[in-house]
């Protein structure tokens, strides 16, 4: 009977997180056809991490990084996506996300809930090597999507090259400096042409 309850909780969690597919982000798909959803973003950056792990500034456990990236935006089911360049009340958003994490991970059996929540908290804190790299990769994919769509959401949020450096570059350089070096050249070229 205990295994049945465990399985029911796991299935309920998996059904609930399907809602991430309906959470739209500001970032467009690279073909510009529509905005991506948070589930697509999570899958894509997990693939980014798997592909770019060799460019981490220090040794990382790619499997743990991928787990963090698959879980990191689940809270957006309740909290919504807040674009990095949008005006926001950071403290209030953090509280909303904490509450969402408690509810969503709490759907799981206790051991899995603790494990998933610990990975999510580690990602948010960005203090371990794995979390620093995961945070940096989380910032890379939207930049590429915006570059591929002639600025994508940047004009909508009046994004400047300086903002990209301070809000994105700092985090990417911390975990994957070589990746930022290549992106920075592309960003500079885009702003020069705009």
Report which of 111, 113, 36 is spatially closest to residue 71, judged by C-alpha positions.
113
Confidence of residue 2 (pLDDT cuts 50, 70, 90): low
Give me the residue spans of the domains in the chain.
2-193
**Could you report the per-residue pLDDT of 30-81, keeping only the tens digit for each?**
999 999 999 999 999 999 999 999 999 999 999 999 999 999 999 999 999 8
pLDDT of 147 over the 90 cut: yes
**Could you report the per-residue pLDDT of 85-128, keeping only the tens digit for each?**
776 778 888 999 999 999 999 999 999 999 999 999 999 999 99
**Could you report the per-residue pLDDT of 118-140, keeping only the tens digit for each?**
999 999 999 999 999 999 999 99
pLDDT of 149 over the 60 cut: yes
**pTM score, two decimals?**
0.93
Overall fold of domain 2-193: Hypothetical protein af1432 (1.10.3210)
172 Cβ neighbours under 8 A, 6+ residues apart? 136, 139, 140, 179, 180, 183
150: left (phi > 0), else alpha (psi -120 to 50), else beta? left
Residue with tokens 């759907």: 107
């Amino acid at each position: 009977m205990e295994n049945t309850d465990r399985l029911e909780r796991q299935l309920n969690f998996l059904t609930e997180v399907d809602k991430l597919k309906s959470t739209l982000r500001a970032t467009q798909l690279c073909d510009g056809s529509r905005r991506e959803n948070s589930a697509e973003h999570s899958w894509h950056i997990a693939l980014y991490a798997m592909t770019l792990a060799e460019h981490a500034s220090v040794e990382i456990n790619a499997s743990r990084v991928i787990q963090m990236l698959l879980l990191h935006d689940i809270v957006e089911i309740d909290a919504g996506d807040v674009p990095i360049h949008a005006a926001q009340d950071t403290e209030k958003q953090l509280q909303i996300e904490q509450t969402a994490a408690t509810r969503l991970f709490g759907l799981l059996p206790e051991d899995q809930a603790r494990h998933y929540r610990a990975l999510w908290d580690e990602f948010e804190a960005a203090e371990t090597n794995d979390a620093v790299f995961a945070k940096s990769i989380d910032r890379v994919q939207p930049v590429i999507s915006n570059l591929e769509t002639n600025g994508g959401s940047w004009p909508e949020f009046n994004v400047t090259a300086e903002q990209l450096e301070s809000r994105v570059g700092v985090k990417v350089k911390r975990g994957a400096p070589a990746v930022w070096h290549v992106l920075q050249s592309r960003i500079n070229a885009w702003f020069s042409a705009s």
